[in-house]
Amino acid sequence: MSTRLTQKEIPMVDSDALKLVLGAAQVHDLTARYLARCLSDKGYSAVTPSMLSFLSVLDCGVNYASQIARNLGVSRQMVAKTVKELCRHCYLQQVQGTGKQKKILFTATGELLMSDARQILADIDQLLINQLGQKSITETVTGLDDISAILTQLNDRDRAI
């Protein structure tokens, strides 16, 4: 998103928040693509960045489609479709729970996938530390946590109005 004038000469205010959002999105996209490629090289079939984003919000224990949908801000139908695809690749399984809701669980293969993903991310950590220093990484993570807390408060306040 440009911070210059529009075609109608409407001024666009420069924004560090915009730069932060765009930068964070770029880091996320590049990390997800790299991670998907590394996992694919390790033999995990059909792993995509969007699939990894979906899996990253799941708990290691029992998950339910309704909670996943709320966490991701998507429909339960979209969750059901994605879970079905991940079950087809043997990363997740669904088992009957109490009532109508099915439990969504990682399979052994899914747990290995997530373990390998975490190891690749740890390798990226080491690369970042070697090139930028531990202090820089720690300060960046702390800053992002602080920004998230402020934005969470802002969203919660607006929801209460």
- Decide: 64 and 105 in contact? Cβ < 8 Å: no
Residues 6+ apart with CB under 8 A from 65: 76, 79, 80, 83, 101, 102, 104
Question: Does residue 8 form part of some domain?
Answer: no
With respect to residue 112, please indicate whether it lies within any of the assigned structural domains. yes
Give the separation between CA 39 and CA 33, rounded to whole angstroms. 10
CATH number (domain holding residue 25):
1.10.10.10
Is 91 part of any domain?
A: yes
Is residue 11 included in any domain, yes or no? Answer: no
Position 2 in a domain? no
For residue 109, the enclosing domain spans 16-152
Judge whether 75 lies within some domain. yes
Q: Is there a domain that residue 6 lies in?
A: no
d(CA 100, CA 147) in angstroms, rounded, equals 39
Q: What is the pLDDT of residue 13?
A: 81
Rounded CA Rg of the chain? 19
Query: In this predicted structure, what is the pLDDT of residue 46?
Result: 86
Q: Does position 1 have pLDDT exceeding 90, yes or no?
A: no
What is the number of domains present in the chain?
Answer: 1
- Would you say residue 27 lies in a domain? yes
Mean pLDDT of 87-104: 91
Q: Is the pLDDT of residue 11 over 90?
A: no
Dihedral in degrees, nearest 10, Cα atoms 109, 113, 115, 116? 130
Under the banding of pLDDT at 50, 70 and 90, the label for residue 59 is: confident
Mean pLDDT of 143-154: 95
Distance (Å, whole) CA 161 – CA 155: 10
